[in-house]
Amino acid sequence: MDAKDYQIIDALQQDGRLSNQDLSAKVALSPSPCLRRVRLLEEAGIIAGYTAVVDQKRLGLSVTAFVQVKLERHGDAAVNQFEEAIEALPNVMDCWLMTGEADYLLRVVAKDLDEFESFIRSHLQKVPGIASISSSFAYGRVKRSRVLPLG
């Protein structure tokens, strides 16, 4: 990767809907080489996809909880079973493998506390191999960025 690739990535992180014409002007390349570079970045998996950033509260998902999960066992089978189960739960937005007291940290969204409770009781507590679950609720967001620092 060179400086132009970083410029392309930065521009697309700021606005993933840029046309190739606008992107090429922004990074000072002609359209054809610019498109070729974007395709190479996509093929290499550096650009993993494009998505719309949606306001969760305007969709009625006003609760964000961070859920710490400890497993009973840490063997390959137990870990794989847990991770596969988490993949299937749409309320889980992120799942991080952690060091420290918890094995996993989940970011879970719900429309309200009743829905969150239902998610815990009906879904998460039924995942085999969980030793403990601890939740903290976010009451405000200070910063949200989807733009990786490239400098």
Ordered structural domains, the chain, with CATH: 3-43 (1.10.10.10), 57-138 (3.30.70.920)
Model's pTM, two decimal places? 0.87
Residue with tokens 């998610």: 119
Confidence of residue 151 (pLDDT cuts 50, 70, 90): confident
Mean pLDDT of 18-30: 97
Nearest to 19 by CA among 31, 3, 9: 31
Confidence of residue 18 (pLDDT cuts 50, 70, 90): very high
Please say if the pLDDT value at position 5 is more than 80.
yes
Res 128: pLDDT: 95
Beta strands in the chain (DSSP E): 63-71, 92-97, 104-110, 130-138
Confidence of residue 67 (pLDDT cuts 50, 70, 90): very high
